[in-house]
Amino acid sequence: MRKIVVALSLTTLAFAGTTVYFARELARERSRAASLDHPAQTSPEKALLPQLPLSRPAADKKPGSAPAAMPESEEARMNKVMAEYNRRFLRTLEDPQLRQDQLVQYKMMMRMQLPRVAQILGMSAEESDRFFELLALQQSENQERHVRCNLEPGCQPGSLEGPPPREKEIADFLGPERHRQYQEYQRTMMERESVSALRSRLSDATYLSEDKAESLIAALADEKRRMQAEAVARGTELRDFGVATGRLFASADEQSLEAHYESAQANSKRLRQRAAELLTPEQLRVFNEMQDELLVSLRARLRAKEVAEAAAN
């Protein structure tokens, strides 16, 4: 299971860098199509909306004329855009300079996605540079095999099995101990985001040291694993809800929205208790404040869902 999680997380990172490109390409294509169907419509916002084809009144159609061709569906149009992007991507790889530029971008992306990983793994500057280079190569090669699969009839990207490219090379480069630390780093990404948000809200006087931050990350991750184990023992799973300030966890077997909220509230209390073992009173106050904000946000979302369900019924 760990290997699957790691592979999925790495695959997700691989496509993160190209999401903006996809969105822009799709927006441009839709905008061009919309301008052809509706020349008078110039609003960029409206250009992104699906357009209904205009048809001529029956009186304007010439007798005996052939039926007009069916307009291309939005899905078919999107598939064409995606296929063209995939072909352009492969052509880019044929150019050594463009391929190198792409690796530089991936390298930058990986540094942003994995903050402080080099310090945590105790890497020198040279080791860190090589590590991120290997990760960049992994993401590029992983994306390439998915793109080629998308262009191959009958190939399903979800059917691509095995570890991501360069996985063994990365493991050999890190060595057993640092590779174990790196896997643990990946498993605690959710907690790292939460603690990073906490540190950003603390004042200079209540600064949370690196060592304390790592201890808090480990404690929160340990408590989450306990919750997950308990959920599995009940024959269910743990669901998470989060925004920029952190994560809440609730049992998936709760039938009512109120029970779902109470489950998240109880699990939030457990996280607060673990944090209280490590944080100063002022640091804990901010941590609890962030948990309160998450509960308010979750309550609002559950109420909105309740209203939507009532309207549907």
54-94 per-position pLDDT tens digit:
333 444 445 555 555 556 678 888 888 888 888 888 888 88
pLDDT at residue 66, rounded to an integer:
55
pLDDT given at position 166: 92
Strand 238-243, strand 246-251: pairing: antiparallel
* CB neighbour list of residue 267: distance below 8 Å, 6 or more residues apart: 227, 248, 249, 250
Question: Phi/psi of residue 8, each to 5°?
Answer: -65, -40
Angle at 55 between CA 49 and CA 60, to 5 degrees: 155
Contacts of 178-181 with C-beta under 8 Å, sequence gap 24+, read 178/121, 178/122, 181/120, 181/121
Q: What does the pLDDT read at residue 64?
A: 53
Tokens of 202: 């603390």
| Residue 174 CB contacts under 8 Å (≥ 6 apart), including other chains | 121, 131, 182
Please give the distance of CA 288 from its chain centroid, rounded to a whole number. 26
The number of beta carbons lying within 10 Å of the beta carbon of residue 136 is 22
What's residue 86's pLDDT?
85
Which residue is listed with tokens 């004042």? Answer: 203
Decide: 65 and 48 in contact? Cβ < 8 Å.
Answer: no
Cα–Cα distance for residue pair 237/261, rounded to 1 Å:
15
- pLDDT score recorded for residue 71: 62
Give residue 9's pLDDT.
44
Tens-level pLDDT at each residue, the chain (313 residues): 344 434 444 444 444 444 434 444 444 444 444 443 443 344 333 333 333 333 334 444 455 555 555 566 788 888 888 888 888 888 888 888 988 998 999 999 999 999 999 999 999 999 999 999 999 999 989 888 888 888 888 887 777 777 788 999 999 999 999 999 999 999 999 999 999 999 999 999 999 999 999 999 999 999 999 999 999 999 999 988 887 678 899 988 777 888 999 999 999 999 999 999 999 999 999 999 999 999 999 999 989 988 888 898 8
Whether residue 142 contacts residue 10, with contact meaning beta carbons closer than 8 Å, is answered with yes
Q: State the pLDDT at residue 226.
A: 96
274-304 residue pLDDT tens: 999 999 999 999 999 999 999 999 999 989 9
At residue 68, the pLDDT reads 56
Which amino acid is residue 283, in one-letter code?
A: Q
